[in-house]
C-alpha cells in the first residue's frame, strides 16, 4: 500500500546526520504504522514537512477517511518536523495532539503539510493542514512535542 520514496532534506541536514552514520530516510520515515497506512514522506525540513496518505484502506465503517488515520498522518509529519528542529542531540516525543475534522473524504489521496507554530529548546509545536485532491481542507491538527536529550553513545 503506497509507494515508499525517500524524503527530500536540506543538504546541511544530510551532512549533519551522515557524519554520524545515520540513514535519514529510514530515521525519518513514517514508521511501521505509517507504512501500513501508506504514508509517504515527500519533503522534510524543520520549516516544512509534506506527506501523503491514501484514503483507501484507511476508512471507517461509513466509507469515509477515519479520523484516527488523519491523526496518524498529522503526528507523523509534526514529529518529523520536531525531530529536525531538535537536531541530532534531541528526540521528539509527542505530548499533545488535537485534530479538527472539517469534511469527509471517500477516495483518493490526502496531503498533509506541517509548519512550525513554535520552536523552542524544550518543545516544538506544528500545525498540520490535511487537504484532499481538490485542495479542500479535510483536517486541521496541532502537535506539540517535548524535545528530550538523545541518549549518548557509550564512549569507547
C-alpha separations of 35 from 87, 126, 145 in Å: 24, 22, 21
Q: Which member of 35, 43, 56, 75 is catalytic?
A: 75
Rg (CA), the chain: 16
Catalytic residue flag (residue 127): no
Q: Which residues are catalytic?
A: 75
Amino acid at each position: 500500500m503506497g509507494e515508499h520514496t525517500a524524503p527530500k532534506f536540506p543538504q546541511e541536514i544530510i551532512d549533519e546526520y551522515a557524519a554520524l552514520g545515520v540513514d535519514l530516510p529510514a530515521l525519518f520515515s513514517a514508521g511501521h504504522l505509517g507504512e501500513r497506512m501508506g504514508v509517504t514522506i515527500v519533503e522534510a525540513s524543520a520549516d516544512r514537512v509534506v506527506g501523503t496518505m491514501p484514503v483507501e484502506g484507511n476508512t471507517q465503517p461509513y466509507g469515509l477517511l477515519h479520523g484516527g488515520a488523519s491523526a496518524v498522518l498529522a503526528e507523523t509529519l509534526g514529529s518529523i518536523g520536531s525531530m529536525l528542529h531538535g537536531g541530532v542531540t534531541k528526540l521528539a516525543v509527542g505530548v499533545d495532539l488535537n485534530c479538527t475534522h472539517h469534511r469527509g473524504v471517500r477516495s483518493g489521496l490526502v496531503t498533509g503539510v506541517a509548519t512550525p507554530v513554535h520552536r523552542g529548546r524544550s518543545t516544538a509545536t506544528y500545525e498540520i493542514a490535511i487537504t484532499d485532491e481538490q485542495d479542500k481542507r479535510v483536517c486541521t491538527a496541532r502537535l506539540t512535542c517535548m524535545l528530550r536529550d538523545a541518549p549518548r553513545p557509550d564512549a569507547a
